[in-house]
Amino acid sequence: MGITEKEETQKLYYSITEVSEMFELNASTLRFWEKEFDILKPTKNKKGNRLFTQKDIDSLRKIVELVKQKGFTIQGAKEQLKNKSKPKNIDNNSKVVEKLILIKSKLIKLLD
């Protein structure tokens, strides 16, 4: 009896070989990216073999998209990932600050 596709997706850890085949990357590329990207943190067993979790797979998917598909440099991909992890409210925050400054100036005028 073979492993069904559903059982395969329930796997907790993937070896570096499985992940390199999954993304069609060399194991050396995965090891290099592990050093370069903070979001990629495979655990290691007692033998030192890397064990990738689903979270690592998801992170790799983002990295592959940026580097291989969209043509970003490693540094560019890092910056993109950093910007995506920032709250999307940054634009809203600057608008709120502008409004607060306006309110402050109106309050100062009222005091005078």
Q: Which residue has the tokens 């309110």?
A: 103
Using CB atoms within 10 A of its CB, is residue 74 exposed (0-12), middle (13-18) or buried (19+)? middle
Could you give the domains of the chain? 5-87 (1.10.1660.10)
pLDDT of residue 96: 77
Residues 6+ apart with CB under 8 A from 98: none
Mean pLDDT of successive 10-residue segments in the chain (112 residues)? 53 94 95 94 94 94 93 92 66 72 87 83
pLDDT of residue 98: 80
